[in-house]
Amino acid sequence: MIVVMRRGAPEAQRLAVEERVRGAGLLPHPIVGTERSVVAVVGDERVVEPEYFEVLAGVEKVLRVLAPYKLASREGRPEKSAVEVAGVPVGAEAVVLMAGPCTVEDRSQLIETAHAVKEAGARLLRGGAFKPRTNPYSFQGLAEEGLALLAEAREATGLAVVTEVLSEHDVDLVAKYADMLQIGTRNMQNFLLLRAVGAQKKPVLLKRGMSASLDEWLLAAEYILSCGNERVVLCERGIRTFEDHVRNTLPLVSVPALRERTHLPVVVDPSHGTGHASLVPAASLAAVAVGADGLLVEVAPDPASAVTDGAQTLSLRQFAELAASLRPVAAAVARSI
C-alpha cells in the first residue's frame, strides 16, 4: 500500500502513519516529495484495509499495490486450473457447453431438452429449480421436484447437472441432486451462501454480480476457496450499464483480463449477457474466440411458451446450429468443443 499525505501535512502526521503501519506488523517506508510525502508499506498489505490508514489525520488517499485476494490469484498458482464436474474438466482444452432451460417446468420439457443438447455436443445440463424472481407475483420454480427431474435427466443422458442454490440452508439439498452448484448474480456477495458452498465438496459456478468489479468477484471466489472448496468456475454474464438495447452489457474482455489475474476457469453466459435469442449466436462465437472455457446457454423445446426468459432462449434446432458453428472457431483458437 502507498499512503499519500496531504500537501503540507506536518511531519507528526506522517510519523503517526508510520507508527500505525508498524502496529499492523508491516514496515513503513517514508518518501518526502517536493509537493507532498508518501509512506510506502512494505509487507503483506492484505492484512489491513486501505481505510485503516485513510482515517488518520493528514492522509489524502491510500493506493493498493497488491490484489486483495490470495488463493484465487495467479501469483501463487501460475498454471490454469481445470475444475472437474462429474468427470468433465472445465478449464482444459475442450470448451464445455452447458445448456438447458432457464426453468425446469416438467419432465417432458427437460428430458427432451437434455437429449437434444447432448446430441448437439453439450456436456452439462443446466436448469433452474429455485428461481430468483424480481417480481413477487412470478413463478418461483419447482424446488425439490425440479431437482429430482434434473437427476432423472442425468440418468437418462449421462449429462452432468448444474443448478442454482439460493440459500445456505438449501445447499445440502441441492448438492444431493446436482453435480455443480450455481451461485447467481444477485447472490455473488451473499457471504453466508458463499461460505456454505465452500464448506461442501461439489464444484461451484460463481456468476459475476451485475455491478461487481473483477476484484470483488475474485474476493467472492476467495470466500469459497478459503473454506476449503478449490473447485470454483467463474461465469461472466454481463454487467449493468447505460446500454438499453440489451439486457446486460457483455464485457467479453473480462475473460483474458481474468486470465491475467487468476488460475480459475471462466465460462460465459451469452443468454443473460444479451437478453435476445437473436444475439446469442454471435455472442457465443465471440466468447469462444476470446478464450472462454465454456458457455452456459438457455435452450428449450419451445421458447415461446417458456415460463421464464423465453426471449433469450434458443430452440433445440438453434442450439444444434450454434454448436456446429462454434466448432471451427474453437479449432481456430486451438480448442475443441
According to CB under 8 A, which residues from 169 to 228 bind a copy of itself? 169, 186-187, 189-192, 194, 210-211, 213-214, 216, 219, 222-223, 226
Q: Which three cell numbers stand for residue 88?
A: 468433465
Least CB distance to a copy of itself at residue 314 (A): 11
Residues 9-68 that bind a copy of itself (CB under 8 A): 29, 31, 33-36, 38, 40, 42-44, 46-47, 49, 51-52, 54-57, 63, 65-66, 68
Decide whether 194 or 206 has the Cβ nearer to a copy of itself: 194
Residues 125-164 that bind a copy of itself (CB under 8 A): 132-138, 140
Sheet holding 37-42, edge to edge: 27-32, 37-42, 2-5, 59-63
Residues 243-282 that bind a copy of itself (CB under 8 A): 243-246, 249-257, 260, 273-274, 278-279, 282
Question: Where are the strands (E) in the chain, listed by range?
Answer: 2-5, 27-32, 37-42, 59-63, 83-85, 88-90, 96-100, 124-126, 160-164, 180-183, 204-207, 232-236, 266-268, 294-298
- Chosen residue from 22, 176, 240, 317 binding a copy of itself by CB under 8 A: 240
Dihedral of the CA atoms 267, 273, 278, 284 (nearest 10)?
-20
Examine residue 301 and tell whether it contacts a copy of itself (CB under 8 A).
Answer: no
Decide whether 159 or 235 has the Cβ nearer to a copy of itself: 235
- Chosen residue from 239, 267, 314, 337 binding a copy of itself by CB under 8 A: 239
Least CB distance to a copy of itself at residue 72 (A): 10
Decide whether 42 or 155 has the Cβ nearer to a copy of itself: 42
Number of residues that bind a copy of itself (CB under 8 A): 102
E strand or H helix that includes residue 254: helix 254-261
The Cα 13–Cα 53 span in angstroms is 11
Q: What angle do CA 264, 268, 273 make, to 5 degrees?
A: 140
Q: Which three cell numbers stand for residue 98?
A: 452447458
- What residue type is assigned to position 116 of the chain? A
